[in-house]
Amino acid sequence: MEPFEALEAGDPRQVGRYRIVARLGAGGMGRVYLGRSPGGRFVAVKVVRPELAEDGGFRRRFAREVAAARRVNGAFTAGVVDADPDGSPAWLATVYVPGVPLGDAVAAHGPWPQAAVFALGAGLAEALEVIHAAGVVHRDLKPSNILLAADGPRVIDFGISVAGEASALTSTGTVVGTPGFMSPEQLTGKPVGPASDVFALGAVLAFTATGAGPFGTGSAHALSFRVVYEEPDVHQLPPVLRTLVACCLAKEPGRRPTVTTLLHQLADTFGGLPAVPRTATEPGWLPEPVAATVHSRTVAAPLPEAPPLARPETSEPPPTEPVPVEPDADPPERPAPARPREQRDFIVLPPGARLPSLPPVKAAARPAGITRRRTLLGLGGATAAGLGFVGWKIRGSGSSAPGEQRWLFRAGDSVSSSPAVAGGVVFVGSNDHNLYAVDAATGEQRWKFRTHGRVGSSPAVVGGVVFVGSEDGNLYAVDAASGERRWKFSSSPILASPAVAGGVVFVGSVDSNLYAVDAASGERRWKFRTGNVVDSSPAVVGGVVFVGSVDSNLYAVDAASGEKRWNFHTTRSLYEDPAVADGTVYVAGGAVGALYAVTL
């Protein structure tokens, strides 16, 4: 199989800032292309299928999963380097690994010797450890999602299979995964967590060592039936590997080893074998025929050249760079030197004034993180650079008419949270790691508060304090008037928005906990452990905290003690926020069209 395929008529030639060079393959989410950045870096660009991109629920989940996948940075993973979940089309770019898929290597050269299987397993277990630490479950670990390189394996497509699940369920009622590698809980609609990836890893190791999956071959239905009801066939495996794989393939998730335990078992066994490298990063870890194929793929095979971009035919003169101008002034004949940044942050137009005509500007690809909406507003690419200002707003001297824009404020990157308004100030988070305070009347920035991660948590404002979570793993309390930090509470990345009631801040985290934090001091009151990531903002009513978890449960937790009052189990992960009214909790689940009403 050749590593690259030529582009076809319907393929894009530019996605974001990346020139598209060739086809790499296709999957359930869309097509994968080889892209090249302006600086010459090659990436794998995954472009979402149009029918998925039109699903608003998919886009929201896709954005969350991309945000989570961005936090994964391990030696044996091909991480996300760029993405535009709001783009048209939506896409993400990952590190390009010029390696050989494990499935192709086994098909071409046969089963691997025991030492190489242990080396592979140790690298994959370390990759899963990093992926799970970021709050991501792969859900589709299989030979084609494992690339072999001279310095070790690389796991790809982690986290995105979760994003694809919602749309797959919406359209077909099925689950995303590969028969023979999916865990029993995936097939039966039970909660899916890190143990599901351990099951898949066991199946991958059995496939690598024998050339066949542990549940045989046949139709998807037959394979799935065996996974759920029959024992795997591991008798061909060497004794030590047989025991390890059998533990990974246990039907009950709780009986499988954790990834960390598995990593130590694999590394210790592998390191104890004679005359082999001690890690998969050392030369010689691959079987010789596979190593030769990897070498030919990564060294001998040249990367394709990017085809030239088509230029539209036009009789108009070439566009020139627009320049900043003052209201009512004639356009200059040539670009003028840019004024100091502090003088060009905003252009305020007096009543009745209009921006003068500007020369035509050639449409440019959106830089990373620039959404389609921002591009159309003239805030991205060549347009913003040519105008020579960072943000701009328009306002008149009087009140605005219905439906008329009063002002526009631009953050340093795409806005990543819903705004909160209190005391004449709008508070909003951004992908540039800042929480902004903007004057509600004028659009002027009051202050900005810097965190060390994306601020995707919508702020809550109570008693002159703004409470907001960040992907840097902290919950912050910020003075609403000054922007000064009052305290911070450290946990794990916070994707959901906090709720404040009775002097306590309640917030979930990717570490699977719901926290109760004293609003005045930042001290922890209690924490409640769920079975997976808490990406749902809690609702607090009548001394009870209601929150959903990716473990498919809606929890009712006593607000004072942190003790569980009850839980309601659904069939799919709960990402959305619950609502409470008239003695009933309403929550939307991941299943097709599922809205649950649960009695308090």
DSSP string, 314-342: -SSPPP-------TTPPPPSSPPPPPPGG
Output the CA torsion sign for 276, 281, 284, 289. Answer: positive
Residue 217 token pair: 């071959």
Judge whether 449 and 476 are in contact, CB under 8 Å. Answer: yes
Output the CA torsion sign for 555, 66, 136, 420. Answer: negative
Q: What is the DSSP letter of 356?
A: P
Stretch (H or E) spanning 91:
strand 91-95
Q: What is the DSSP letter of 255?
A: G
Residue 491: per-residue pLDDT: 87
Judge whether 429 and 458 are in contact, CB under 8 Å. Answer: yes
Stretch (H or E) spanning 212:
none
Judge whether 214 and 87 are in contact, CB under 8 Å. Answer: no
Residue 234: per-residue pLDDT: 92
Residue 346: per-residue pLDDT: 34
HSE value, Cβ hemisphere, 13 Å, CA-based, for 148: 31
What are the pLDDT tens digits along the chain (600 aa)?
Answer: 456 788 888 889 999 999 999 998 776 678 899 999 988 889 999 998 887 777 777 788 788 778 878 888 778 888 888 899 888 888 999 888 888 999 999 999 999 999 899 999 999 999 999 999 888 888 889 998 999 988 889 998 865 544 333 333 333 333 456 889 999 999 888 889 999 999 999 999 999 999 999 998 887 888 888 999 899 999 999 888 998 999 999 999 999 999 988 888 887 665 555 444 445 556 678 999 999 888 877 654 455 665 555 544 444 444 444 444 344 444 344 333 333 333 333 333 344 444 333 343 333 333 333 332 232 222 233 222 232 323 334 344 445 678 888 899 988 877 878 899 999 999 999 888 899 999 999 999 999 999 988 887 899 999 999 999 998 889 999 999 999 999 999 988 888 899 999 999 999 998 889 999 999 999 999 999 998 888 889 999 999 999 998 888 999 999 999 999 999 998 777 878 999 998 999 998 754 468 889 998
Backbone angles phi, psi at 168, to 5 degrees: -65, -40
Closest CA to 406 of 418, 414, 398: 398
The rounded distance, in Å, linking the Cα atoms of 410 and 374 is 9
Q: What is the DSSP letter of 16?
A: T
Region of 177 on the Ramachandran plot (φ > 0 left; ψ -120 to 50 alpha; else beta): left
Chain centroid to Cα 135, Å, comes to 10
Q: Which residues contact 43 (CB under 8 A, 6 or more apart)?
A: 18, 34, 35, 36, 37, 81, 82, 93, 94, 95, 96
The rounded distance, in Å, linking the Cα atoms of 530 and 512 is 5
Domains belonging to the chain, first-starting first, are 14-300 (1.10.510.10), 341-356+367-534 (2.130.10.10)
Q: Which residues contact 300 (CB under 8 A, 6 or more apart)?
A: none
The rounded distance, in Å, linking the Cα atoms of 187 and 177 is 9
Residue 140 a catalytic site member: yes
R_g (Cα) of the chain, nearest Å: 27
Judge whether 89 and 138 are in contact, CB under 8 Å. Answer: no
- Sheet with 579-581, strands from edge to edge, namely 579-581, 584-588, 595-599
Could you tell me which residues are beta bridge partners of residue 278?
none
Judge whether 459 and 442 are in contact, CB under 8 Å. Answer: no
Q: What is the DSSP secondary-structure string of 142-178?
A: -GGGEEEETTEEEE-STTHHHHHHHHHHHHHS---S-
Residue 136: per-residue pLDDT: 85
Choose, from 86, 104, 140, 551, the residue flagged as catalytic: 140
Query: What is the rounded end-to-end Cα distance, in angstroms, of the chain?
Result: 58
Region of 522 on the Ramachandran plot (φ > 0 left; ψ -120 to 50 alpha; else beta): left
HSE value, Cβ hemisphere, 13 Å, CA-based, for 355: 14
The rounded distance, in Å, linking the Cα atoms of 92 and 69 is 10
Q: What is the DSSP letter of 390?
A: S
Residue 195 token pair: 């143990």
| Helix axes 259-272 and 239-248, enclosed angle (nearest 10) | 170
